[in-house]
Amino acid sequence: MSASTLPLDLYLVTDEAACLGRDLFWIVEEAVKGGVSLVQLREKNLDTRDFIDKASKMKELLAPYNVPLIINDRVDVALAAGADGVHVGQSDMHYHQLRQVLPGQSIVGISAENMANVEEANDWEISYLAISPLFDTPTKPDTGTAWGMAGLQQAAKVSRHPLVVIGGINTENVTQAIQHGASGIAVVSAICSAAFPGYAAEQLRKAVISGKKNRL
């Protein structure tokens, strides 16, 4: 899938701990019905075999909806489960190595923590760049300094890739993020911890679309 056709509007990043004891697959399916366009399976503590099993099951769930599945960190898991791509951060497998082991059409997303990361990624063929984190978030305490809206605006001027924002995104700040240059939003708690994940997804998607209509 090329960068121009990749559906980045509403990107759900999973976190079992954020699901408040509810079934992750139920949350993901509700969210997809509500308008999630891309899903990342993010598992920091699973054994390899369990991670592959979970990814394969997630791929099966998403296939009828035509929603691509991205695997966080683990290229081996993505390959074994037939996922559509991977997301890597600045301490994960390097872009050049990723390209050696992944099929050519794979989706590749990378986290940018600072402007040097944004500039470096301009030399690479990636599907999107994640501005990470846009705001500090209790969901991931081990991040670098938050970009904030001004930082996002600078990154959008420099980057040739579509930008996704992640970290503290909710219905209150989506429109502003889109207006400052984001092509889409990535969320964990705004959907995984919502009382009604499907409804939460609908509201977030509406906010993205409204932000795009009213771009500054």
Ligand X SMILES: Cc1ncsc1CCOP(=O)(O)O
Bind-site residues: 40-44, 72-73, 92, 111, 137-140, 168, 188-189
**Active site amino acids:** 42, 111, 140
- Contact flag: residue 76 with Mg ion (CB under 5 A): no
- Contact flag: residue 13 with ligand LCLJCK34 (CB under 6 A): yes
Letters for 139-178 (x = contact with ligand X by CB under 6 A, - = none) are: xx--x----------------------xxxx---------
Mutual angle of helices 48-62 and 24-34, in 10-degree steps: 30
Q: From ligand LCLJCK34, ligand X, Mg ion, none, which one binds at residue 187 (CB under 5 to 8 Å depending on kind)?
A: ligand X
- Contact flag: residue 117 with ligand LCLJCK34 (CB under 6 A): no
77/71 Cα distance (integer angstroms): 7
Q: Which is nearer to Mg ion, 77 or 208 (CB)?
A: 77
- Contact flag: residue 73 with Mg ion (CB under 5 A): yes
Q: Which of 94, 166, 92 is nearest to 129 (CA)?
A: 166
For 23-41, letters b (16+ CB in 10 Å) and e give ebeebbbbbbebbbbbbbb
In what helix (H) or strand (E) does residue 28 lie, and over which residues does it extend?
helix 24-34
Coil vs helix vs strand at 3: coil
Beta bridge partners of 18: none
Exactly one of 86, 190, 200, 201 binds ligand X (CB under 6 A); that residue is: 190
Question: Min. distance of Cβ 182 from ligand X in angstroms?
Answer: 14
Q: Which is nearer to Mg ion, 89 or 148 (CB)?
A: 89
Q: From ligand LCLJCK34, Mg ion, ligand X, none, which one binds at residue 107 (CB under 5 to 8 Å depending on kind)?
A: none
Q: Which of 121, 171, 182 is nearest to 147 (CA)?
A: 182
Token pair of 102 as six digits: 């992944």
Note whether 216 and 21 are within 8 A (CB). Answer: no
Q: Interface residues with Mg ion (CB under 5 A)?
A: 73, 89, 92
Please give the residue ranges that form the binding site for ligand LCLJCK34 (CB under 6 A): 11, 13, 40, 42, 72-73, 87, 89, 92, 109, 111, 130, 132, 140, 164, 166, 186
